[in-house]
Amino acid sequence: MRTTSQSSDKIPQPIRTETEPQDAITLLTEDHEHVKSLFEQYEALGDRAHVSKQKLALQICTELTKHATAEEEIFYPAVREASKDNADLIDEATVEHAAAKDLIAQILAMDAGDELFDAKIKVLSEQIEHHVGEEEGEMFPKARKAKLDLMALGEAIARRKEEIALPKV
């Protein structure tokens, strides 16, 4: 009888699912990349693709609402508590979230064919791009340096995001 053995580098690795634990920064960065992709898909649609635009806009607004709420309730307080030096950065991020939420509410109350719908999506995209740059360039490195329990924060953020739904408009 002949047996074969596989070396460990040939063993297929399991595909990571969204339910597997991730550290908070990895999870939030993946959210950023996902929303950027959604905005790019929106931009690629033609002027008359109202149904597709409406669906993508709803998906963008849902993802941003979940992300922002979880950040404000879980990640930002942990980063603020880690160092008083982070207070201004957290305050600015919170104000940026408020501006995004205002635009999200306006978008959700509109139809894709309405005047200014595309413009509001574009402005939201630009605001989010700016916000992501600050988070990834300034806040996330400070969070790593602070030695926060990023795995526990990631698990809490993932759980919270599952609970969040868009408010009724």
Q: Residue 169, exposed/middle/buried by CB under 10 A (0-12, 13-18, 19+)? A: exposed
pLDDT at res. 1: 47
pLDDT at res. 6: 43
Spell out the domain ranges in the chain. 22-163
The 10s digit of each residue's pLDDT in 56-90 is 999 999 999 999 999 999 999 999 999 888 999 99
* pTM of structure: 0.85
- CATH tag, 22-163: 1.20.120
Residues 6+ apart with CB under 8 A from 71: 28, 93, 97, 157
Decide: helix, strand or coil at residue 12: coil
Q: Are 72 and 122 spatial neighbours (Cβ–Cβ below 8 Å)?
A: no
pLDDT band at 11 (very low <50, low <70, confident <90, very high): very low
Nearest to 129 by CA among 30, 33, 24, 42: 33
Does 8 score more than 50 pLDDT? no
The 10s digit of each residue's pLDDT in 20-65 is 779 999 999 999 999 999 999 999 999 899 999 999 999 999 999 9
pLDDT band at 14 (very low <50, low <70, confident <90, very high): very low
